[in-house]
Amino acid sequence: MKSRSRFLVVAFVLIIIGAGAGGWATRMRARTANIPSAEMKDNQLVKAFTEGSQLIEDNYAIDRDQEMLTKAAVLGMLHVLDPHSSFFDRRAFNEMQEEQSSRFYGIGVTINRRNDKTCVLGVVKGMPAERAGMKYGDIIVEVDGKPTKGWSQAEVLNHVRGERGTEVEIAVERVGEPVPVKFRIVRDEVPYPSVRNHFMVRPGIGFIALTNGFNKKTSEELQDAMTTLKKQGMNSLVLDLRQNPGGLLKQAIEVSEIFLPRSVEVVSVRGREGRVRSQVYKSENGDPESLPLVILINGNTASASEIVAGAIQDKDRGLIVGEDSFGKGLVQTVFPLPGGTGLTLTTAKYYTPSGRCIQRDYSGGSLYDYYWARRNGDPQATPSPTPDTDAVFTPTGRKLHGGGGITPDIVIKGSLENYAMRDACFEFARLLAGGALPGFDEYKVAKVEFGYRLRGTEFQISDGVVTAFRNFLREHNDLGISEALLNSHLEYARRRIRAELITAAYGIEAEEQFLLDSDPQAMQAVEAIPKAERLTATARLFETGPNRH
């Protein structure tokens, strides 16, 4: 372990040396793989770094994981460069590669934190968790004999995931069971699709949630979803890119190509002069989709998803609705390192067809400002682009703004979730679904019915259920929901309890479809379809350079 951690430090230092010497993309691989040991010993920077690492290892009073120290040191150096260059240990690098392949190894369960507990919200059809009998409302209390109290959601996931064919033991608290129920589950390949959900939101209007990043099968999944919805009468589309963190550049281009004709620019990549060759990517589709298009974005829409939104907006191919995107336009090249680790290093920037740089400024704030504050509405966070910064004009004369990120054509804030109320509704709904409340047998859920199409009448919340919920809250003061708070959020509580029951009975996809009618951004996107249709009819889709005024 000690020699490997020192080698990783040395490898990283050699990468930086190679990067500074010119022709870096080729040299990086050569320097890390083939550098003679004598040259390593003679390099003063390597010697200083290695000696410092050895000094800490020999003299620090408390034992520390050397790989953890190496990772922290490398990350510290990389964060001086920019927020997106990063070092991945073996596990993280493997997980990143798996997700980009549209799969990972685990048990096929969706979990989330509720009232500081890790709760099962759903299982994937046909996957090990479903076959073993796990279900909505289970609370994970142990993984492989280790109590999960105090664990984050990520920590639970890291313990549940693992190598294919290996076994994991999970203990859950279940409604109606006096002691934890234990499952021994063999891990298997679990699909991780980009297209999370698709359905008809209104007659003629399809809705596709492309929210799980851009992996190797994204464009194929999108086209399959569109084919399915066309058979159901779709003649216009709302494409949801909210919460989409990005992914593979090639897939962002292929998704854009579905809607843009041949020879139209999709995105350009520009590196440092003399270091990385700049490149312009154009659509190669001779028969693009012509249906009216509205794209939803928010503060978590980043990178590859911003490329798609920017290309569609710049070419007047559709309307963008929602909130300013994240503004991640730095291009990373992935470099595998010895020991199964990896490095992502920023090598270029993305530009939309009109010449707008997607990347927003990161020079004046902390990592908190950059990653969390802005997208969570903190007014002290890195500001959005100023209205006239690098203004450009689309083929139809619409004025767009540069300065980083994508500003929607129609700006509308998303609804704010009351997490305390949401968690209280979950606790109550799991009792209803588990059949633990006398007199409410019609709300009991025996098992999930996958593929169910909502009719709009499922699990209506009666006044009797509301009264039972009031009594439940009085008996559970620890949930922190007062009578006054409930009264002010009564309609939300009705809808949330109903959504939880739909999740238990029909799965997470059905819940998402049910909640869409109360989503102000999605409803605005539906209302914008006629405007998008007019824009599509009048747009002049042809290749233009930046048209700055």
Distance CA 458, CA 437 (A): 19
Candidate list 328, 349, 354, 384, residue with the active-site label: 328
Candidate list 240, 314, 316, 324, residue with the active-site label: 314
Contact assessment for residue 336 and residue 89, using Cβ atoms and an 8 Å cutoff: no
Distance CA 357, CA 306 (A): 11
* Per-residue pLDDT at 442: 95
Tokens in use for 115? 């009232």
* Per-residue pLDDT at 488: 95
* Per-residue pLDDT at 86: 81
Residues in the chain: 549
* Per-residue pLDDT at 17: 39
The SS3 of residue 41 is helix
* Per-residue pLDDT at 117: 95
Distance CA 195, CA 213 (A): 9
Q: What does the DSSP 8-state code read for residue 382?
A: P
Distance CA 345, CA 164 (A): 30
| Owner of token pair 């010697």 | 47
* Per-residue pLDDT at 342: 81
The SS3 of residue 140 is strand
* Per-residue pLDDT at 234: 98
* Per-residue pLDDT at 387: 46
Concatenated DSSP letters of 176-216: T-SS-EEEEEE-EEEE--SEEEEEEEETTEEEEEE-S-B-T
Respond yes or no: is residue 144 known to be catalytic.
Answer: no
Contact assessment for residue 137 and residue 175, using Cβ atoms and an 8 Å cutoff: yes
User: At 348, which helix (H) or strand (E)?
Assistant: strand 342-351
Distance CA 344, CA 333 (A): 5
- HEC-encoded secondary structure of 398-437: CEECCCCCCCCCEECCCCCCCHHHHHHHHHHHHHHHCCCC
Interacting residues of 58 by C-beta distance below 8 A, sequence separation 6+: none
Distance CA 443, CA 434 (A): 8
* Per-residue pLDDT at 542: 43
* Per-residue pLDDT at 70: 65
Orientation angle between helical segments 44-59 and 2-20, nearest 10 degrees:
150
Tokens in use for 399? 């004025």
Tokens in use for 361? 């400024």
Concatenated DSSP letters of 265-308: EEEEEEE-TTTS--EEEE---SS---S-EEEEE-TT--THHHHH
Residues of the chain with pLDDT under 70: 1-71, 75, 98-103, 273-276, 365, 368, 372-390, 540-549
Candidate list 303, 305, 325, 354, residue with the active-site label: 303
Class of domain 103-191: mainly beta
Question: What are the boundaries of each domain within the chain?
Answer: 2-81, 103-191, 195-334+347-415, 419-518
User: At 72, which helix (H) or strand (E)?
Assistant: helix 66-81
Respond yes or no: is residue 230 known to be catalytic.
Answer: no
Q: Considering just the CA atoms, what is the radius of gyration of the chain in Å? A: 26
Distance CA 305, CA 325 (A): 9
The SS3 of residue 102 is coil
- The pTM of the full predicted model, rounded to 2 decimals, is 0.83
* Per-residue pLDDT at 337: 74
Distance CA 66, CA 438 (A): 56
Distance CA 141, CA 409 (A): 46
Q: Which of 3.40.50.1220, 3.40.50.10140, 3.90.226.10, 3.40.50.720 is the CATH number of 195-334+347-415?
A: 3.90.226.10
Enumerate the H helices of 400-528 as residue ranges.
419-433, 463-475, 483-488, 490-506, 508-515, 520-527
Q: What does the DSSP 8-state code read for residue 318?
A: S
Residue 211: closest CA among 246, 171, 162, 172: 246
Respond yes or no: is residue 390 known to be catalytic.
Answer: no
The SS3 of residue 219 is helix
Contact assessment for residue 471 and residue 443, using Cβ atoms and an 8 Å cutoff: no
Interior angle at CA 149, CA 143 and CA 151, nearest 5? 75
The SS3 of residue 240 is strand
